[in-house]
Amino acid sequence: MMVQSGNPPTTPVSVPGSAGAALRGRLLVNEPMARHTSWRVGGPADRVYVPADIDDLAAFLRTLSPEEPIHWVGLGSNLLVRDRGVRGTVILTSGALSGLALLDETRVRAEAGVPSAKVARFCATHGLGGAEFLAGIPGTVGGALAMNAGAFGGEFWNLVEAVETLDRRGERRTRQASEYAVGYRSVKSPAAEWFVAAHLKLVRGEHAQARALIKSLLARRGATQPTQMPNAGSVFKNPPGDHAARLIEAAGLKGATVGGACVSELHANFIVNAGNATAADIEELIEHVRATVELRFGVRLETEVRVIGE
């Protein structure tokens, strides 16, 4: 295993897993999480492990003590990491668990670290329809599984037949989609496990048709979302029967700022990092938006983004 330290550790760190000479991944010590989140904010994680593959990750998990806090991160596109960083170990799947293959004529196996957009293109290339909506979601398959990511009427779990999981003892299982309670941006797992791969069921379609659909969906996004500035997509879930963006705009919050964090002028449910935002700025702005909308309309918005760290 390779151990790297991006920054000199500020406190002495004991490196779990260092005894496991057979490990093939990379261990980053005191790694700034701002490098791994789309908001480009977040303090250091004590340890970040980038596995070589699923077997290597299972072996690494077996070396951790039962008390070690573990956080899984894909592309960090739905994640606010606080400024003082994350205690424990972050498992980084992006760029690591990258297997993507056809299982048969209409089924695809995608590992957790594969970008969702790559799945969309892979399916289109193989004349498979149904995954086009994933093209503009800038996360991984693992993140899409955890969040039930969706867009333009499509939801990730509508494609899922089965998933492969690991638990903290490094045990690997295959589970059927029916074992999960899935809703709007919500997935309840039957056990304390993380996702390492998804088996997706697509429909036979036309290569050219799928490509054209991807192109038009991406164009629609480009016109309605602040894609040039760091953000994490929709900050709040839509409340039943309404849109968070509509409520935020109606409360006069477009353009509201805290430090370097700003409610997007283009899409009111996006908060952008206008250059030098801290995680604390973003979190304060989230709470300001929530409180203002609740005061004006009596609706308490629930965050879609996940917040971790100190």
Ligand X SMILES: Cc1cc2nc3c(=O)[nH]c(=O)nc-3n(C[C@H](O)[C@H](O)[C@H](O)COP(=O)(O)OP(=O)(O)OC[C@H]3O[C@@H](n4cnc5c(N)ncnc54)[C@H](O)[C@@H]3O)c2cc1C
Does 234 participate in catalysis according to the annotation? yes
304 labelled catalytic: yes
Q: Which stretch binds ligand X (CB under 6 A): 5-13, 53-61, 74-82, 237-245?
A: 74-82
CB of 206 to ligand X, least distance (A): 24
Query: For ligand X, which stretch binds (CB under 6 A), given 11-19, 20-28, 67-75, 243-251?
Result: 67-75
Taking CB under 6 A as the rule, does residue 200 contact ligand X? no
- Minimum Å gap between C-beta 29 and ligand X is 20
SS (H, E, C) 122-166: HHHHCCEECCHHHHHCCCEHHHHHHHCCEECCEEHHHCEEEEEEE
CA pair distance 283, 290, nearest whole angstrom = 11
**Which residues, numbered 100-119, are part of the site for ligand X (CB under 6 A)?**
112
**Under DSSP, is residue 256 helix (H, G, I), strand (E, B) or coil?**
coil
From residue 115 to residue 154, the character string flagging contacts with ligand X as x (rule: CB under 6 A) and all else as - is: ----------------------xxxx-xxx-xx-xxx---
Contact with ligand X (CB under 6 A) among 15, 20, 35, 38: 38
Q: Give the nearer residue to ligand X in terms of CB position, either 23 or 79.
A: 79
The residue among 22 and 192 lying less far from ligand X, judged by its C-beta, is: 192
Within residues 248-287, the interface with ligand X by CB under 6 A covers none
- Is 63 a binding residue for ligand X by CB under 6 A? The answer is no
**Measured in whole angstroms, how far is the alpha carbon of residue 269 from the centre of its chain?**
17
Distance CA 290, CA 296 (A): 10
Q: What's the one-letter identity of residue 280?
A: A
User: 74 or 85: whose CB is closer to ligand X?
Assistant: 74
Candidate residues 75, 198, 262, 271; the one interacting with ligand X per rule CB under 6 A:
75
# residues contacting ligand X (CB under 6 A): 31
Q: Which two tokens stand for residue 89?
A: 């170990």
Quick check: 51 binds ligand X (CB under 6 A)?
no
Selected from 60, 72, 157, 236, the binder of ligand X by CB under 6 A is 72
**DSSP notation for 56-117:** HHHHHHHHS-TT--EEEESS-TTEEE-TT-EEEEEEE-TTTS--EEESSSSEEEEETTSBHH
Q: What are the tokens at 189?
A: 């797992």
Nearest partner of 40 among 73, 14, 11, 79, judged by Cα:
79
Specify whether the CB–CB gap between 183 and 189 falls below 8 A: no
The reply to whether 78 sits near ligand X by the rule CB under 6 A is yes
Q: For residue 134, what are its two tokens?
A: 């994933």
Report the b/e string of 116-143 with b at 16+ CB within 10 A: bbbbbbbbbebbbbbbbbbbbbbbbbbb
Catalytic pick from 155, 164, 283, 304?
A: 304
Judged by CB, which is closer to ligand X: 121, or 306? 306
Cα–Cα–Cα angle for 268, 80, 155, nearest 5°? 65
Q: Is residue 76 within the footprint of ligand X (CB under 6 A)?
A: yes
Instruction: Tell the smallest beta-carbon distance from residue 8 to ligand X (Å).
Output: 26
Site string for ligand X, 217-246 (x = CB under 6 A): --------x-----xxx-------------
Q: Which residues bind ligand X (CB under 6 A)?
A: 38, 71-79, 93, 112, 137-140, 142-144, 146-147, 149-151, 194-195, 225, 231-233, 306
> Which sequence positions are flagged as catalytic?
185, 234, 304
